[in-house]
Amino acid sequence: MTTETECLFCKMVRGEINPQRVYEDEHLLAFRDINPQAPVHILLIPKQHIATLNDLQNKDLAGRLLTQVGTIATQENIAEDGYRTVINCNQNSGQEVFHLHLHILGGRRLNWPPG
């Protein structure tokens, strides 16, 4: 597991790395994925270091994370046509950065199954 000091996303929260931000408040940060899998591909993270979805205990933070998705989708003009959210949990799911993050994907027709 990655420590908070080494964590790529924690470095973004601390301002050591400057992502292309699309939303930020005291609890959350959203930014464009550097390897987009759709025309719109945004990552939404809690500012608090939480390694995986299994480690999320704060129901208020979970609610904030989920309710902000619709606002971001509207802001990015993908809410009406549709979008996908994905949270990978641990290695077999494809989680590469061990800081909880939610993918917001849209801007084209997304196929199913995804992987």
Residue 77: strand, helix, or coil:
coil
Is 101 a residue of the active site? Answer: yes
Residue 62 is predicted with a pLDDT of 97
For domain 8-106, is the CATH number 3.30.428.10?
yes
Q: How confident is the model at residue 115 (pLDDT cuts 50, 70, 90)?
A: low
* Model pLDDT for residues 10-34, shown as the tens digit of each residue: 999 999 999 999 999 999 999 999 9
Q: Is the dihedral of CA 30, 109, 107, 68 positive or negative?
A: negative
The answer, yes or no, to whether the previous bond of 39 is cis (omega within 30 of 0) is no
Listed in order, strand segments (DSSP E) in 1-115 are 21-24, 28-32, 40-46, 83-86, 102-106
57-100 confidence digits (pLDDT tens):
999 999 999 999 999 999 999 999 999 999 999 999 999 999 99
What predicted TM-score, i.e. pTM, was given to this entire model? 0.94
Of 41, 49, 99, 101, the active-site residue reads: 101
Taking residue 91's Cβ as centre, other Cβ atoms within 10 Å add up to 10
Alpha-carbon distance 81 to 109, whole Å? 9
For the cut 70, the answer to whether the pLDDT of residue 44 exceeds it is yes
Domain boundaries defined on the chain: 8-106
pLDDT band at 1 (very low <50, low <70, confident <90, very high): low
